[in-house]
């Protein structure tokens, strides 16, 4: 499980990197439906059927998995056509390429039906009988199935409360800003899950990564509340009256307390292993971040360790000093009965052997105080106010989330409980 404070460009890049490394990933826990590629392609199809003269929409549709033209074929079709519309040019040159013929025939047939069938029937025909779902999943991966299913479900829901029309449905969909909440914990598949800390409340995983630890909340609402429960609007800090200044301080204190409470939630989601890391930007990390709250407490009980992930994933891997805390676990390992349809990538084989060999502290290592459990460390970190500078880090690549110290078969050997905190320049 990978936990982040908020969804952003990092989450998208992380999921993409995991897939490129061959690590099974379930995607993110929430998504805006209209921002998904599979749904954007279906919406583009609907927009073309409403206005075939829209050249830009047709060009994007032809490059989508539904019709599969590459950049060179699209350029050849669109370039030098003069004043002709792209749709007219496609039909004129359809016999030059089987893909052009397929696209022209399919779109002509859909144009003939668009005004006479309901949106659900139209898109279900595209996805099922005409192979659209198969093409989308082949290019975009299995995670495209959820947005497609939700898109069809919304088409049915629209028809229950509105007069069925393609234009009406697309407008309703665009203005609705539908967000999907995916129940990743109930999927029953052996995959890496990427969730926000809020979304992970009540969930646990054998291995948890915290890659987003060097950022702090920087914004507060302009609407503040006094101790007497009165609302005050503060457009700018410079305009604050004494009462507004006091209300702003209350809001900042509440925000920081919630930030530390989330840290406790994040640190206690791990059953066996917790990796605390982060990424360094050009700006110095703000004081009071999660990393600074964790590192001082961990330094008093952990063993300094040199991490090197270059052997695992090449020059993109991070290497540097860090801290490692191991604590023997007396409970027997639980059997994992879930059937996995994914094999661990071959490049993770070295990490498999290393993870299994580290079930006990190395010779000469400082044994951790058994009273300092992971939960106690999280409680102290969440309740501590950071002071001064701290440790800033670059993360090991999260593709090591498949670190298989978690054995897939029941074993009599107890598993270790560990917390790693890489520290980089």
Name the helix (H) or strand (E) containing 304.
strand 303-308
Confidence of residue 75 (pLDDT cuts 50, 70, 90): very high
DSSP letters spanning 238-270: GG--HHHHHHHHHHHHHHHHHHHHHHHHHHTSE
Tens of pLDDT, residues 99-151 = 999 999 999 999 999 999 999 999 999 999 999 999 998 888 777 887 899 89
**Residue 342 in tokens:** 């994914």
Apex 237 CA angle, 236 and 238, nearest 5:
90
Sign of CA dihedral 85, 91, 92, 93: positive
Q: Where do the CATH 1.10.486.10 domains begin and end in the chain?
A: 35-181
Q: Residues 216-236: what's their mean pLDDT?
A: 76
Residue 361 reports pLDDT greater than 50? no
pLDDT for 400 equals: 37
Residue 44 reports pLDDT greater than 90? yes
Dihedral pair phi/psi, residue 124, rounded to 5°:
-65, -35
pTM greater than 0.85? no
Q: Residues 221-246: what's their mean pLDDT?
A: 76
Q: What is the C-alpha separation between 100 and 58, in angstroms, rounded?
A: 12
pLDDT for 350 equals: 44
DSSP letters spanning 161-182: HS---HHHHHHHHHHH--EEE-
Residue % of the chain over a pLDDT of 90: 32
Confidence of residue 351 (pLDDT cuts 50, 70, 90): very low
Q: Residues 32-39: what's their mean pLDDT?
A: 87
Q: What is the C-alpha separation between 290 and 420, in angstroms, rounded?
A: 14
Confidence of residue 335 (pLDDT cuts 50, 70, 90): low
The CATH number of 35-181 is 1.10.486.10
The helix/strand count (H/E) of the chain reads as 15, 12
Q: Which residue has the tokens 């502290």?
A: 361
Dihedral pair phi/psi, residue 88, rounded to 5°:
-65, -40
Q: What is the C-alpha separation between 205 and 198, in angstroms, rounded?
A: 15
Q: Given strand 192-196, what is the order of strands in its sheet?
A: 25-28, 192-196, 2-4, 205-210, 270-276, 416-422, 319-328, 303-308
Burial of 23 (0-12, 13-18, 19+ CB in 10 A): buried
Residue 54 reports pLDDT greater than 70? yes
Q: Please tell me what DSSP assigns to residue 186.
A: G
Determine how many CB atoms are found less than 10 A away from the CB of residue 337: 8
Name the helix (H) or strand (E) containing 137.
helix 132-140
Residue 384 reports pLDDT greater than 80? no
């Amino acid at each position: 499980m990978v936990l982040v404070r908020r969804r952003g460009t990092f989450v998208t890049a992380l999921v993409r990197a995991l897939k490129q490394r061959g690590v099974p990933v379930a995607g993110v826990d929430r998504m805006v439906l209209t921002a998904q590629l599979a749904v954007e392609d279906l919406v583009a199809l609907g927009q073309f059927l409403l206005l075939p003269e829209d050249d830009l929409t047709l060009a994007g549709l032809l490059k989508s998995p539904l019709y599969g033209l590459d950049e060179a074929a699209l350029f050849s079709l669109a370039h030098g056509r003069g004043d002709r519309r792209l749709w007219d040019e496609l039909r004129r040159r359809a016999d030059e390429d089987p893909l052009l013929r397929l696209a022209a025939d399919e779109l002509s047939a859909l144009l003939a039906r668009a005004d006479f069938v309901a949106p659900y029937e139209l898109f279900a025909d595209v996805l099922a009988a005409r192979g659209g779902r198969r093409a989308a999943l082949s290019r975009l991966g299995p995670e495209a199935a959820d947005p497609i299913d939700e898109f069809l479900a919304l088409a049915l829901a629209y028809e229950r409360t509105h007069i069925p029309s393609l234009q009406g449905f697309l407008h309703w969909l665009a203005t609705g800003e539908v967000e999907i909440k995916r129940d990743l914990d109930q999927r029953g598949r052996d995959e890496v899950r990427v969730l926000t800390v809020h979304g992970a409340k009540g969930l646990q995983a054998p291995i948890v990564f915290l890659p987003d630890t060097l950022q702090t909340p920087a914004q507060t609402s302009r609407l503040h509340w006094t101790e007497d429960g009165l609302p005050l609007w503060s457009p700018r800090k410079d305009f604050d009256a004494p009462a507004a200044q006091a209300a702003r301080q209350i809001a900042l204190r509440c925000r920081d307390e919630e930030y530390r409470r989330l840290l406790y939630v994040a640190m206690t989601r791990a059953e066996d292993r917790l990796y605390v890391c982060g990424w360094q930007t050009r700006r110095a990390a703000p004081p009071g971040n999660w990393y600074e709250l964790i590192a001082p407490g961990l330094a008093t009980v952990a063993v300094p360790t040199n991490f090197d992930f270059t052997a695992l994933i090449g020059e993109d891997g991070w290497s540097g000093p860090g801290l490692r805390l191991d604590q023997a676990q007396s409970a027997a390992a639980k059997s994992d009965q879930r059937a996995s349809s994914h094999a661990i990538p071959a490049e993770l084989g070295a990490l498999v052997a290393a993870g299994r060999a580290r079930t006990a502290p190395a010779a000469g290592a400082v044994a951790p105080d058994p009273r300092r459990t992971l939960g106690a460390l999280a409680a102290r970190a969440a309740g501590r106010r950071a002071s001064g500078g701290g440790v800033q880090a670059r993360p090991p690549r999260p593709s090591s989330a498949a670190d298989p110290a978690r054995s897939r078969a029941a074993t009599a050997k107890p598993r270790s409980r560990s917390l790693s905190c890489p520290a980089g320049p």
